[in-house]
Amino acid sequence: MGNSSGKIFRLTTFGESHGVAIGGVIDGCPAGMKIDFERIQQQLDRRKSGQSKISTQRKESDKVEFLSGFFEGKTTGTPIGFIIKNEDAKSKDYSHIKDTFRPSHADFTYQKKYGIRDYRGGGRSSARETANWVVAGSIAQQILSTKGVEIKAYVSAVGSVKLNKCYKEMDLSNIDGNIVRCPDSEYTEKMIFEIVKVKKEGDTIGGEITVIASGVPSGWGEPIFDKLHADIGKAMLSINAVHGFRYGFGGVDISSSRGSDVNDIIIDKSGKTKTNYSGGIQGGISNGNDIYAEMFFKPVATIMQKQNSIDTEGNKKEVEGKGRHDACVVPRAVSIVESMMALTLVNHYLISKTNRL
């Protein structure tokens, strides 16, 4: 269970890292939407491996093939089936994983849960799965665009290189102007330098991504248990390596602040607030201001250094990363974050249509 996301616009995915293909089904996509297939591929390309010197060299073209759900370029309201073939799945040598549990990987937990696992390339637990999300998320983004909603994510920290600027002080059209996907040119250099250094040492490093959704009208989000920020949080925490989530503009540390400092004063009938410490959401419902959230990523668990572990029999064993891995995932995760935001928002948009007669 657990391979579906969304109540109305519902994505169900499948696929292992080194199987024939990964893919999914989108059910509940509204009919009559003209889709720009190139935009989907562009979002996939922002996520794919082998883009630059700072990403893994696994070569996957990540071409999505749609099998259903469109007619003459438009959605028909029927489910959209799609697959992405695994092309560079080198299934040769997995002896080092087959019988060993790598530290901070899902090898041990899948084995314990299911009693069996496809260990090749991490199987189902591989971040390759996120390509499926980008396909669906990109379609969701296109639907939201017709409602005036735009979503932008960018890298706001690599290790201890933390961007201390509000998104309003920067030109977000610069995000894709560099390989690390940070809109500030000064920090960009530092971040790239950090990743290159860490990579050279056979190590990995964590980071942060910030996401903004502008143009969201007030009224999206379903209290009590499907609050908008709770659903965004869950979506983001689904991303491999995300271990923390915060919403609301965080120029200050809100949990150590006072009410008189961080209450957002409403200044006009549209609900516009003077400040936006609430990140565009009150009581779990959007209030018309920019949605703002931050995601915290762990360092990639696979490092090119020797580590102790155990084998499946419980014997001590040394493991060392092999193959093709990222030293820092956040540059490639930007379109994944946008996709998860889009999937969450499109669902709340559709549900909100049922709130009144």
Would you count residue 164 as binding a copy of itself (CB under 8 A)? no
Q: Toward a copy of itself, which CB reaches closer, 122 or 183?
A: 122
| Alpha carbons 19 and 35: distance in angstroms, whole number | 29
> What is the β-pairing status of strands 74-75 and 10-14?
unpaired
Q: Toward a copy of itself, which CB reaches closer, 92 or 269?
A: 269
CB of residue 21 vs a copy of itself: minimum separation in angstroms?
5
Would you count residue 20 as binding a copy of itself (CB under 8 A)? yes
* Cα separations in angstroms, 249 against 163, 236, 246, 253, 285: 14, 17, 9, 9, 16
Would you count residue 109 as binding a copy of itself (CB under 8 A)? yes
Would you count residue 196 as binding a copy of itself (CB under 8 A)? no
Contact map string, positions 126 to 145, toward a copy of itself, x by CB under 8 A: ---x-------------x--
Q: Which of 154, 167, 187, 247 binds a copy of itself (CB under 8 A)?
A: 247
Q: Which of 121, 137, 183, 221 binds a copy of itself (CB under 8 A)?
A: 221
Most distant pair of Cα atoms in the chain: their distance: 67
Looking only at residues 326 through 355 of this chain, which bind a copy of itself when binding is defined by CB under 8 A? 350-355
Place of tokens 């894709």: 176
For residue 238, how many other CB atoms are within 10 A of its CB?
A: 16
On whether the CB atoms of residues 278 and 287 are closer than 8 A, the answer is: yes
CA dihedral sign of residues 125, 201, 155, 230: positive
Q: Which of 94, 226, 290, 324 binds a copy of itself (CB under 8 A)?
A: 226
On whether the CB atoms of residues 289 and 301 are closer than 8 A, the answer is: no
Amino acid type, 289: N
Looking only at residues 40 through 99 of this chain, which bind a copy of itself when binding is defined by CB under 8 A? 65-69, 71, 74, 76-81, 83
Would you count residue 14 as binding a copy of itself (CB under 8 A)? yes
Instruction: Identify which range of 52-60, 175-183, 185-193, 282-290 contacts a copy of itself by CB under 8 A.
Output: 282-290
| Alpha carbons 151 and 19: distance in angstroms, whole number | 32
Q: Toward a copy of itself, which CB reaches closer, 183 or 279?
A: 279
Q: Which of 22, 163, 341, 345 binds a copy of itself (CB under 8 A)?
A: 22
The four Cα atoms 185, 191, 195, 200 give a dihedral, to 10 degrees, of 80
Instruction: Identify which range of 169-177, 182-190, 304-312, 331-339 contacts a copy of itself by CB under 8 A.
Output: 304-312
Q: Which of 39, 96, 162, 165 binds a copy of itself (CB under 8 A)?
A: 162
CA dihedral sign of residues 282, 287, 289, 290: positive
| Cβ within 8 Å of residue 255, ≥6 positions away | none
Would you count residue 297 as binding a copy of itself (CB under 8 A)? yes
Would you count residue 206 as binding a copy of itself (CB under 8 A)? yes
